[in-house]
């Protein structure tokens, strides 16, 4: 993979993970939670470079924190019911 992410290039999920320096499981969570948008082609995800670049913007970090806090609240509520 090139060092520079091209906005209009198409990347596999693995290439996107390599570019972001995150594990495959993290990429899967990002896809599941809508933090990373991709299309499935032949059963495999394809990610536009502009989506990878968008992920490193400050607004996405705020959204990720918001999602994390929401999940944490749900987990704490379930635990407290025990």
E strand intervals along 1-82: 10-12, 39-41, 44-48
| 23 belongs to a structural domain | yes
* Domain annotation covers residue 28: yes
pLDDT greater at residue 2 or residue 19: 19
- Give the chain's domain count: 1
- Note whether residue 14 is domain-resident: yes
Backbone angles phi, psi at 7, to 5 degrees: -55, -35
Is the pLDDT at 22 greater than 60? The verdict is yes
Structural domain contains residue 30: yes
> 36: domain CATH number?
1.10.1660
What pLDDT, on the 0 to 100 scale, is given for residue 48?
A: 94
Residue 48 lies in a domain: yes
3-state secondary structure of 23: coil
Percent of the chain with pLDDT over 70: 94
Asked whether residue 5 is domain-assigned, the answer is no
Residue 1 lies in a domain: no
CA distance 11 to 1: 9
Find the domain containing 39 and state its range: 10-81
């Amino acid at each position: 993979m090139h060092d520079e992410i091209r906005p209009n290039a198409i990347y596999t999920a693995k290439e996107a993970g390599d570019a972001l320096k995150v594990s495959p499981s993290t990429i899967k969570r990002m896809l599941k939670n809508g933090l990373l948008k991709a299309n499935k082609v032949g059963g495999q995800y394809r990610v536009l470079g502009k989506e990878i670049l968008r992920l490193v913007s400050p607004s996405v970090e705020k959204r990720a924190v918001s999602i994390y806090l929401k999940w944490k609240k749900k987990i704490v509520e379930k635990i407290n019911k025990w």
